[in-house]
Amino acid sequence: MGFYDRHVLPHLIDFACGMGAVMKARAQIVPQAQGRVLEIGIGSGLNLGFYDAQRVEVVVGVDPSAEMQALARERAAHCQVPVEMIALELGQLQAADASFDDIVCTFTLCTIPDAVAALREMRRVLKPGGRLLFCEHGLAPDLPVVRWQRRLTPWWKPLAGGCHLDRDIPALIEAGGFQVRELSTGYLKGPRPMTHVYRGWAD
């Protein structure tokens, strides 16, 4: 991993993912989490301030980037809920089957190389009756925007840590063994190829 990925990208991601419209989108999903919560791709910990301390026992974060984890640990020190980290080894979450009440995944399915395999792992560790709460950007509903998403993704991906602009998020979630139960979609403020967001939950 080069200088850009290690020292520049984590701060760019923290800045971009911390913008007002993105934070508002998180605020509609993250407070719904309860119990023992797994956060996939915790990144710099931008969701931590949105957990409801009355409902959440612990947030267990996973992220393959040591640099992002370090930023998340800094935020965790000022957060109302206990935060722990677990490892991801060869795509496997280091957690027992059916060990989480809810899973939170925000702005991460765009980046995980094999998103379907990762979703199957989420399915494995989620308790029966538990929910996958998601807020993800992806494939737009408008063909001209989709064309830009397809054109830009090969250039965008290496600059943005592997992020794809054109993933069909509900289709991926269902291919990973979940059923999407609630879904709202729309563009956030900003360039349309990057800002079409899918929010909701699946089980």
The DSSP bridge pattern shows strands 100-106 and 126-137 to be parallel
Contact 46, 18 (CB under 8 A): yes
Which residue has the closest beta carbon to ligand SAM? Answer: 43
How many chain residues are in contact with ligand SAM, going by CB under 6 A? 20
Q: Examine residue 13 and tell whether it contacts ligand SAM (CB under 6 A).
A: yes
Q: Which stretch binds ligand SAM (CB under 6 A): 53-61, 64-72, 170-178, 186-194?
A: 64-72
User: Please, what is the minimum distance in Å from the beta carbon of residue 150 to ligand SAM?
Assistant: 20
User: Please, what is the minimum distance in Å from the beta carbon of residue 111 to ligand SAM?
Assistant: 4
DSSP H helices in 55-101: 66-76
Buried b (16+ CB within 10 A) or exposed e, 61-77: bbbebebbbebbeebbe
Which one among 75, 101, 108, 167 touches ligand SAM, defined by CB under 6 A?
108
Between residues 111 and 149, which has the closer beta carbon with respect to ligand SAM?
111
User: Please, what is the minimum distance in Å from the beta carbon of residue 86 to ligand SAM?
Assistant: 11
Name the residue among 21, 94, 102 with its Cα closest to residue 63.
Answer: 94
Name the residue among 11, 14, 20, 26 with its Cα closest to residue 189.
Answer: 20
User: Please, what is the minimum distance in Å from the beta carbon of residue 120 to ligand SAM?
Assistant: 12
Which one among 50, 51, 59, 106 touches ligand SAM, defined by CB under 6 A?
106
Between residues 144 and 189, which has the closer beta carbon with respect to ligand SAM?
189
Burial class, 20, CB count within 10 angstroms (exposed 0-12 / middle 13-18 / buried 19+): exposed
